[in-house]
A = this chain, B = another copy of it.
Amino acid sequence: MSLGEFDLIARYFDRPVRRAALGIGDDCALLTPLPGMQLAVSCDMLVEGRHFLSTVDPERLGHKALAVNLSDLAACGAEPLAFTLALALPRADEAFLAGFSRGLLALADASGCELIGGDTTRGPLNICISVFGQIPVPVKGTGALLRSGARPGDDLYVSGTLGDARLALEVFRGTVSLDGTSLDAVRQAMELPQPRLALGMALRGMASSAIDVSDGLLGDLAHVLRRSGVGAVLEVDTLPLSDVMRAQPLSLQRLCALSGGDDYELLFTAPAERAAAVAAAGAAAGVAVTRIGRITEHLDAGDAQLQLIDAQGRVVIHQAPCFDHFKT
């Protein structure tokens, strides 16, 4: 292995910055925030075998590593600015680095989010990205979409479709079989998630709360309910599903859509009178937006703040746990 740490950075990652005041190559990168803008910061770490399979195409892995971070910016309504990349690699594998950096930087370019710094070291494969975005600050409060703003009577929405990433994972686990075309479709959902940045920005001042669906719909909805101090009724038969998913047994549909994880869709709430504006925001962003329930008063019933009902109004029992890195 002849490629050194500094050559590796220069060859695959060091590119001129356009928005940052200083990029890769010094002790720190420098950002000059615009007046009236708040800085949104998020950070995600991806570990081989937990967040991605060792067989994943490095280009898709590069895309996904940045996408899951951009999805957090989307959930806050932030406009992407820049990111840092820390990378632990078992060895300086040029084929991996070429593919990984290609996928990573293609999404960075498409999102207006530039790589400004980071770290590389030898170690078990680990990808840690911190992402920075900006949000206009209104005269009062914050312009960011938060988890804490859902109010009784609000409608509950989700973008895109749910559960395909989990369906793909079940195929790789050997519990489900799909034909090649169907597998390609759900594998794309798992490996090439599309952060809903345009939708998040369009929902500023319109959505009362938002979160991105990363641990599974029910788990992420529970965060919103707890932070907002409210309950919710979720209409499970309205959940948006892909054609591949609709061809699966109902129990598998519900497992994947409710508890799947890795969706990177936006789950958000808005007052009922904003329904037309929400639909317009989805159309403008080119993303399907589906109403899947409504927010209720806090039920004073312990942790059970969520009721699931089907199209006939019957209560649905669903017990698959949401994802927890230290319990699963």
Contact = CB atoms under 8 A, between A and B. Distances in A.
Chain A interface bracket (under 10, 10 to 19, 20 to 34, 35 or more):
35 or more
Interface string A115-153: 011111111101010101101010000101011100000
A1 interface: yes
A324 B121 contact: no
Most buried by B among A40, A48, A147: A40
Interface string A316-327: 000000001111
Interface in A1-25: 1, 3-6, 8, 21-22, 25
Most buried by B among A21, A142, A212: A21
Nearest to A89: B326
A267 to B, nearest CB: 11
A32 B43 contact: no
Given A5-B324, A33-B39, A126 B28 contact: no
Give the number of copies in the complex. 2
A68 B50 CA distance: 28
Interface string A138-176: 000010101110000000000000000000000000000
A28 B130 CA distance: 10
Most buried by B among A78, A118, A212: A118
B30 A211 contact: no
Interface stretch (A69-77, A235-243, A289-297): A69-77
A240 B51 CA distance: 47
Given A6-B324, A45-B123, 16 more contacts: A8-B326, A25-B227, A26-B227, A28-B73, A30-B39, A30-B76, A30-B135, A33-B37, A41-B132, A43-B84, A84-B130, A91-B326, A120-B325, A121-B325, A124-B124, A130-B130
16 contacts: A4-B326, A5-B327, A6-B324, A25-B227, A27-B72, A28-B40, A28-B42, A32-B137, A41-B84, A42-B117, A44-B119, A45-B86, A50-B123, A84-B130, A120-B326, A124-B126
A-B CB proximity, top 9 nearest: A47-B123, A128-B128, A27-B75, A28-B40, A45-B86, A124-B124, A130-B130, A33-B33, A43-B84
